[in-house]
Amino acid sequence: MKRFLLFLPLLIAIVVGIVLFAGIGKDPTKLESALVGKPVPAFSLRDLHNPDTMLDQSLFQGQVSLLNVWGTWCPACKDEHDDLMWLAEEKGVNIIGLNYKDNREDALVWLDRLGDPYRKTIYDPRGTLGFDLGVYGAPETFVIDAGGVVRYRHVGVVNETVWEQTLLPVINDVRGNG
């Protein structure tokens, strides 16, 4: 019994070490969305290209889509734009844009210059839908299933690696279940 007690500090150190080691490498700035498993919040916002057209959550019905939150004020959004173009053109991914806290003129110039990977772009100048989605920093990309339910949220830039290792498996999984 006494012998065992001598090893107690070592045991505690090992347990604490394992617990702390498990935390290394996790990026604490990437939070899981509170909306996973819930439908896209109800909204009614204008189309970026056609101010007279109103868009709402029915936009996400019928097929799996990526919802990409972006703004011209966001440098990382520029970094991922080429990859979004590649996804839309080469992979045929259905991407919906959410132009977040931006202004229409700048956004249209941006899409004109860099190309437009979005099937539709929701114009959200005051960030209301962004807030309901729990967006805390652009760019963010949501995977939304054909029933309009949020399945995954990726915070940060989308590139080939993220697509192949993170988003594509989620989409395949969603398609398999749906």
Partner 1 sequence: MVRIVCLVLALLLPAFAAADVADVYEFSDRAEEQRYQNLIAELRCPKCQNQNIADSNAPISKDMRDVVYRMMNDGASNEEIVESLVGRFGEFVRYKPEFDSRTFLLWATPAIAVFGGLLVVAGVVIRSRRSGPESPALSAEEKARVDKMLADQDRSS
Q: Which residues bind partner 1 (CB under 8 A)?
A: 28-29, 31-35, 101, 127, 131-137
Spatial CA neighbour of 141 closest among 63, 84, 72: 84
Sign of torsion over alpha carbons 87, 90, 95, 99: positive
Query: Least distance from C-beta 155 to partner 1, angstroms?
Result: 10
Spatial CA neighbour of 39 closest among 154, 120, 144, 168: 144
- Residue count of the chain: 178
Our CB check for partner 1 shows the closer of 32 and 112 to be: 32
Query: Least distance from C-beta 129 to partner 1, angstroms?
Result: 11
Query: Least distance from C-beta 164 to partner 1, angstroms?
Result: 26
CB atoms within 10 A of CB 63: 12
What is the Cα–Cα distance from 68 to 143, expressed in whole angstroms? 9
Our CB check for partner 1 shows the closer of 20 and 177 to be: 20
Our CB check for partner 1 shows the closer of 107 and 133 to be: 133
> Tokens 């941006």, residue?
110
Query: Least distance from C-beta 75 to partner 1, angstroms?
Result: 15
Query: Least distance from C-beta 57 to partner 1, angstroms?
Result: 15
Q: Is the peptide bond before 28 cis (omega within 30 degrees of 0)?
A: no
Our CB check for partner 1 shows the closer of 89 and 136 to be: 136
Our CB check for partner 1 shows the closer of 16 and 161 to be: 16
